[in-house]
Structures are given as structure tokens and as C-alpha cells.
Chains A and B, each alone.
Chain A
Amino acid sequence: MKTQMMKILFGVSLLLLAPSFSLAQKPRLITHWENFTTGNGMPDEKVFCVAVDGNRVWAGTEDGLVLIENGKIQKVYKTEDGLAHRVVMGIAVDKATGDLWIATFGGVSHFSGGHFENFTNLTSGLLNDIVYGIAVDGKYVWAATTAGISRLNTYTGEWTNWSEKNAPLHEPWGYGVAPAGNKVWFAVWGGGLIEYDKSQGYMKAYTDPDEEMELVLFRNQGLIHIIVSNVSYNPDTKMVWASTYFGLSGYDGRNWHNYLTKDSGLASDFINAPKSRRNEVWACTDKGLSYLDYKTGNWVTYRPSKQGGRGEIEITWADMKKTKLETATSLAHNYILNLDFQGEDIWVATAKGLSHGIREPQKETQLYASIRNHRSTREIAQARRQESR
């Protein structure tokens, strides 16, 4: 009888504890990495940007544009092939036509059907040839340049430019652009986050409310810092995310959500680019790749382990406890410049190559099973209630 009772109790506690093993509450993990470096066909180790288009992955490097398909580098395009400049800083895929618009240090290239058509400061109305960011928004192509923002109307051929002369750009260095429905957002290095309202035709600047370069006095009352390196818009959540050299900012149109390393799982405050989808926001930092699931408040950071060749996963739970896991393979480097999504996988531009991060659910299960001292969300909530009494 007693044994029977014990069995029943054990079964019930297993049931009670079952949510702790529910993968739905644990962050998804990238468990395997494949890297593309100069050793296996990349023209240069510095990869500045990456864009996924179905089965095709485009990577912009310091020496050309790379096409990867079926797990292999299919083609490298250089200036001899017609690319405007060897340094490729941004790639935008026009999903409607299959064309690419490419931001380079020598102007904008339009790549279509195997042919390059280039736009420079001398041959077109492009404001400046040093182009960092590019985006396609219907019939418009937006370019973030070091002299401001250019927009091409591809139907009429008209170029429109915004600089410090006609826009609230404290500094003119455009670093990133993200279309967002009836708005377009721009990352301006030293100039903050710029919002362009398409229907009204005006630009509005969001800058750091405390105006302090080194301090964060007003935590969630505005953009965390004016040195904004890139911007990403999430149409699912309608949030815009700005990466800065001093933290990560998210804005939902009313409230700001700012993150620093000191009180989050962010790998570093020095962030090169954000990317957001679903409930995730990813931060490409100089010390690894971090992502936040802001529904659960859990962070995950990927970086190469100090043990050569292996990868490190650091989970920062909502209660700030950390869990470290190890994978057999790793990111090419911890200096992360950009990323893009391909289903559950990710492609990551790093300073030493392009990394393909693959999610393997089975492997993920094994990793979580290996965790000791893990607490479920319910346990965390219970612990908090206890602490507050």
C-alpha cells in the first residue's frame, strides 16, 4: 500500500515537474555550426552582411559578393564581374523580382539575372558612394550613406536625398535602413534613430534623452545611445530595434525597451546589428551573438569556446542565472557583424567567415537533458514569491 502510494506520488511529482522539461519554455538552440572561410572558398574572411533568399544565401565580404546554395559556395562576384566595389556592406533582396540591391563602398549595385547595373554619386542621384545599408520597399530603394539617405524611385528614376540640410540628422552617417509598413527607420551613427513617415513625408529623430555618451541615466525613456549602428523592424510585433555601441534599444511606438550587459544576457553593449522575428531579437556584438526571447525573458549567447574549435552556449535565464552548454562546432568568430534567418537556421556574418547555424531539435533535447540545477519557470516564480515575503 505504502509502495503503491509512493509510486503514485512519484508519478504526480513527475507530472508536476513535467513543465520544467517543456521545450516550449526553453529557448531554441543552435546546436551545430558550419563555417565558410577563405579556406573553403570565401574571397575574404571579413563578412559584413548576409541575406537569405529561400535556398540561396548571399554574403557580402571585403572582397566581393558570395552566393551559397546547397551548402556550397556557388559563385563569387567581384568588380571584374561588374560589382560596383569589392567591399559589400549591405544586401537587400527584392522578394518581388528576385533582384538584389547591394550597398558597397563604391555605390549601389543592382544585380539581376546575372547582370550588374551600378549607381554612383557621379552617374546618378545617389548622395554618396559609401553605402552601408540598403533596403527595398515596394518601388523604392533606400540607401543609407555616409552623407545621408538616398531614395530611388525605380519607376520614375527620381532620386531624393536627405542630409543634415533637410532632415533632423545631427550627423549624416547613415548606417542602416529598415522599412516598416508606412514608416522607414534609419540608423544614423552619431545621429540616433530616424523615423520617416511615408504618408506625412516627415522625418523625426530619436536621440539619447540623457545626452550622455558614457552614461545611461534614463533607462527606458528613449533611445539608449545616439551611436546607432543598425536597425531592424519586426512586422510580427511591430517593434523596431536599434543596435548601438552602448546597448540595445527596442521601441514599440510608445515604450522603449533597453538592454545592457550589466543586467541582461547581452554578450556585449557594442552591437553591430540587431535582427528580430517572432518573439526574438538577436544582437550581433563584438563578443558573441546574443538573442532574447522577450516573452520568457531568457537570453542565449553563442560564441567560440576558449577551447579551440568548440562552441559555447550561454543561457541567461530570466532570473539572471546562467547555464553554459558546449557544442562540438562553433561560430567562426565572436565578432559578429550581421545575420539572417533561414527557417530555424541562421546565417551569421563574422569577422573571420560566414557561419551557418543549424538547429537540431534532437541535439537540443540532449543538451537540455544534460543541464543540472535547472529550474522551471514555475520554480523561478515560486522562488521570487518567497524572496519578496
Chain B
Amino acid sequence: MFTLPLVPALILTFGLCSPRFAAVPANQGIASSEPRYLSPSEVRLSPDGRRLFITCEDSNEVLAVDPRSERVVARVTVGQKPWGMALSPDGKTIYVSNEWSDTVSEIDAASFQVRRTLKVGWGPVGLATDRAGRTLYVANGIGNDVSLVDLRTGQETKRFRTQRYPQQVTLSRDGRRVYVSNVLPRLGPYDQPPESEFLVLDAIRQTVAERITVPGVIELRQIAEAPASLGGYVLVPFMRPKNLGPLIAVAQGWVLTHGMAVIRPVSARPSGKGTSEVSQVLLDDIDYYYAGGYGVAFTPNGRYALISSSEASTLTIIDTAKLARRLRQVPANELPNRLDSARTFVVKRLETGHDPRSIAISPDGRFAYVPNRLDDSVTVVDLARLKVASTIDLGGPKQITRRRRGEQLFFDAKYCFQGQFACATCHPNSHLDGLAWNLETPQLGRDRVANRTLRGIKDTAPYKWNGHNPDLATQCGPRIAKFLFRSEGFNKEELEALITYLSYIPLPPNRHLAPDGQLTDAQERGKQIFYRTHTNDGREIPVQNRCDTCHPADTHYTNKLSTSVKSASKYDTSDYFDTPQLDRVYENAPYLHNGEALTLEEIWTVFNNSDTHGVTSDMSKEQLNDMIEFLKTL
């Protein structure tokens, strides 16, 4: 009988069990064997600093951690995909948004039990209470609004419209304003730079105070207000895309940059007069970038501001006095494009774990806590020494599966030249960025294509708007390396892991479809129209021009072929484009290959004058509305 020596046997065993050899085949139904990671994203400290509260979006839990012992001391299960967190002013209650349950869990901080569950809008994310603890503001990422909840009754009383994918909600220090950031920019012409919106609500009157335009940026993430001694400005991380120029210019740098908006709302001034001021300053260095600006916080004394770069695994510490000097020295119109700013005010950059998210600072200003979403850990930073003090293990699964590894790669910009961007940079929340890009071609303005979602893309090959990539391996392998990252890209194992992750990005619940799947009258009428074979006056619609020919139900509403709907402009090389899948199409604006159609209606009212994209010219407005209501159920 052949036996291995013990030590080599052990080495071989553990080597086979290392992540590189995780026995998880790509593109297979592996969900049931996938360990339940925690994926911590939002962190808050209790007012006395004795407890860290952390939302874990994949385990559907909230954890309580003792920062001194660095141990998890309590946990409670909440709804699906817990995302944001707010503490009541007295610290006795924790509110957690459950993004996929459309609810907010109210947790007793002492007993760590869920006291009640509040119904809010679609896809709740960031939230904050008012100063009195009587009102809760909840950003609804799918509904594109902010719910205002009366905490005495637990009922929603009104909503405020926002731009797409509102993200974070923060109460001003004086309690008079509520700030709301947005991930996606305003819908606008596909050939113009993006514009984002920073919403300010009047927390006293509970009305909209102002909508501040932040030009040229997207992905406004978390929000921090400076102490009054610094002027009370607001810092919000962003990404600045130069999507209108050829992306291959990444090799020259400066194509996707990352920084912070410094916002001074007019509504924060006692007089309320004048206009709001917005400055933009980059956090990148001239030869290395810090992608995925996410969390932001000020130390209590205002000396430092901290920003996490979720795609660069970095926490940047900024000297606020030096930042103020930089803002004074360089004209505001120049600042957004100056890559020499960071060195004037960045004090330290610390390495964190994968995908660092929000930041909490202890009341005494000694420590900062940053959850690493893809490591199930928390980085603890000693703010006196400006170094990482420790890493708290939250007790998630130790095994890193191929899918998990793939997710880490998705959120890691180091594979791109100079770390300019990761997959997640252009696909925030694994979705889309709402922009049209000048991808792959070196010619300015040619073949612009709209960014597409990555949710539910398994089994929807081929990929790319021109349909040339038969699988994800081609899409994310050599193509990414050559045309996007302008680097070596991923190795074979990394590519397999990334593909595994991409194959299992789920579709969120469809909010337009009743839980029992029953269609409303309008949706049912719309379904009839979608599947119609004849026009209103009885003429037969050619088979090739019927909706379900190119968008059959059983394959995610795509026939997986390239088709011409005559949507090409004179700047497009070909008129044939890959038929997009229609799952959750209501979340995928803008539409058509170049994002020219800003709404679903425009696909047909503006861009289908010759009935080349289905026959719609005979439809009444009611019929078109009904069809769109049906499309929203897909």
C-alpha cells in the first residue's frame, strides 16, 4: 500500500483546498454550495463608543462588535440585503434598510431584537433620523425617491423625488438639513458629459430645499459634513468619467479619475441667499489612481478627513487644513482636472481589505473602523499614529470560493493600468452607470455604446453591443486587457473566478410585478400588445417585426442574435446590434445601443418612426402605455 509522508500529505491536502483549486466549476448551478458570507458594508458606532454595529448584506444580519475585545457579541437577523444604517439620536435604536425586502428593521440596541418592521419604498438603502428621532428619511434606490417615515406611527407620510439610485442620506450637524447623494447621473443626451445631483431637504419644513448640480461626475456615494469650525462644507466622493473620449486613452491616464465634491449648499447659510458652491478635487496621484471612492468621515476635531476607495483597497487620510489651502489656491474650474492635488493634502494612504466601505470614527477620535465587504473583516485604524492597528475578523467563512474570489476581482482596480478603474467602477452595484462610452475604437465619437447591466447576464451570450464576444471569457479576458484595462488583465484562474461571479449576479426582485405574479389590467393588455400578430386595423405584422421574435420569453427576452432596428447613426460602423435581454428593463435606462432613448417611451415615440423596431405607429397612446407597463414586469 502506498502512503504519503504526513507533512507532504498535509501540504498537498491544504494546497488542493487553497482558493486556486476550489472545486467550483464555472457557469454551473453552485448557489446551494456557496458559503454564506457576511459582506459587511455599513458601520456605526454607539454614542458611547462601546459597540460597533455592522450591516452584513449577504448574511442578512446586523452584528454588534465590542471594539475593545474585537469580538462579535450579538447578531440579529433582519430582512433581505440589509444595506444602510442609522442610529436614533439617543443611540437606543438602530434602523437598518433591507434593500430587497423594501423595509426598514427597527432594532433595540440593548436587547438587539427587531422591534418592528417599517414599510418604505422600493430598494431602501441609505437612511437617517432627524434630530428629535421622530422622523426617518430613507433613500429608495429602485424607486428613485426618499421616504419620510413618522417613527411615532411607523407610517410613511410622504416621498421626495430623487435622481436615479439615491444612495446615502445624512443629517446635517445642526439638524436643519438632510443630504441625499445619487449613484447615477441625471438622464441626459448621450453625447454630453454627465451631471449628477446632490439633493438637500429642509428637515424643519420637511420640503425640498435645493437640488445642487455636480457636473461631470457620477457615483456620488457617502456624505460627511465638516465641523462648523471648518466651514461646514460637505464632502462626497465621486468618479469623473471621460466617457466621450476613446477609452483606450486609459494608457495615457486621466480617463477615469476619482475624487471628492466639496459642496457648500446655499441653504446652509443663515441668509439663504446666493448660490450653492461646488468644487471638485481629485484624490488620485498622477501615476496611480484610487478608484471607487465610497465612505467618508471627519475626525471629531476636524483635523482629518478619511475616504475609503472601495476598488483600491485603500483608506486615504487627508489634512483638512491643507485641503482648504488647495481649494483656495487653485481656481475651481481647474481643480477637477488637476492630478497634482492629492500630494498637497494627503497625509497617508493605508491598505485595507477588499472593498472597504463606510467609515466610523470613535467619539474620542482615536480609532476609525472600516468594514471590508469582501473579506468579512473590519480594518481598525489608529488615528494618532495613522496606521492600521488591527483587523477584526467578523467570523465569516474562511473558504474563499471561486465566486467570492471573482467578486473580489470585480471590485479590484489594480488590474487596470495605474489602477484607474475596476469592473465595478463602470458597473456600480453590478449594474450600469447610465452613460454611453467610446469603447475600443480610437476614433473620437465613433461607435458610442451605452453601458449595459451585468445583472442576470448568465445565458444571454453573445456579449457586447456588436455581439462579437461569444462568451464571458472573451468579453472579460483579452478584450478587457487590450481595450479597457490596457494591461495584462486577469490570469486564467482569475478570469474563471471573475466569470463565475458574473454568471451569478442576481436580478433584484421585480417591483412592478405583484408577488403572486398576477398582472394588472394594464399589464395584461400590454402583454396582448407585446404578443400581437396584427395591427389595429387587421394587417398582419411580419414575423420578423413582432416583439417576441427578437425578444422571446424563454431566453431572457433575447434571441441572442444581432439585429438591425435602424437605430444606427452616421457615427456607427454597423447597424446591427446584439438584441438586449429585457429582464428588469425598467432599471436599464437609457436605451438603444447608444443610450439615445432616455425612457422606454422614446424607443418608439422618437426612434421608431418607420416601424423598424416593431410596429407601433398604429398604436394609441394608451396601448403604448400598456405595453410599457407589461415590459416593466419582465
Contacts and interface: CB of A to CB of B under 8 A. Distances in A.
Interface in A139-169: 139, 147, 154-161, 163, 165-166
A163 B207 contact: no
A122 B601 contact: yes
B27 interface: no
A121 interface: yes
Contacts of A166: 622
B71 interface: no
Contacts of B121: 155
A209 interface: no
A55 interface: no
B158 A96 contact: yes
Contact of B211 (A115, A122, A161): A115
Nearest to B625: A125
B599 A165 contact: no
Given A97-B160, A99-B207, A122-B605, 5 more contacts: A96-B206, A99-B208, A117-B161, A123-B602, A124-B601
Top 7 A-B pairs, shortest CB-CB distance: A98-B207, A113-B211, A122-B605, A115-B211, A96-B158, A125-B625, A113-B208
Contacts of A128: 621
A307 to B, nearest CB: 42
A161 B625 contact: yes
A113 B210 contact: yes
A155 B156 CA distance: 12
A114 interface: yes
A115 B197 contact: yes
B621 A127 contact: yes
Contacts of B621: 121, 125, 127-128, 147, 161
Given A122-B605, A123-B599, A161 B622 contact: yes
A139 B197 contact: no
A124 B206 CA distance: 28
A110 interface: yes
A99 B205 contact: no
A123 B601 contact: yes
B599 A155 contact: no
A113 B159 contact: no
A interface, over-half SS: loop
A97 B208 contact: yes
B208 A112 contact: yes
Nearest to A98: B207
Q: Chain A contact residues (Cβ within 8 angstroms of B): what range? A: 20 to 34
Contacts of B625: 125, 159-161
B512 A165 contact: no
B629 interface: yes
B634 interface: no
Max chain B C-beta neighbours (<10 A), residue from A99, A124, A166: A124
Interface of A: 96-99, 110, 112-115, 117, 121-125, 127-128, 139, 147, 154-161, 163, 165-166
A102 B601 CA distance: 21
Contacts of B206: 96
Contacts of B213: 115
A110 B202 CA distance: 18
Nearest to A110: B161
B211 A114 contact: yes
8 contacts: A96-B157, A97-B208, A113-B199, A113-B208, A122-B601, A125-B624, A159-B625, A161-B621
B598 A123 contact: yes
B271 to A, nearest CB: 14
A230 B379 CA distance: 64
Contacts of B511: 156
Interface in B157-212: 157-161, 197, 199-200, 202, 205-211
B606 A113 contact: no
B522 A158 contact: yes
A97 B207 contact: yes
Contacts of A122: 601-602, 605-606
A201 to B, nearest CB: 10
Contacts of A157: 586
Contact of A123 (B208, B605, B624): B605
Contacts of B599: 123-124
A121 B605 CA distance: 8
A123 B159 CA distance: 23
A147 B620 CA distance: 12
Nearest to B512: A156
B447 interface: no
B595 to A, nearest CB: 14
A165 B622 contact: yes
Max chain A C-beta neighbours (<10 A), residue from B159, B161, B205: B161
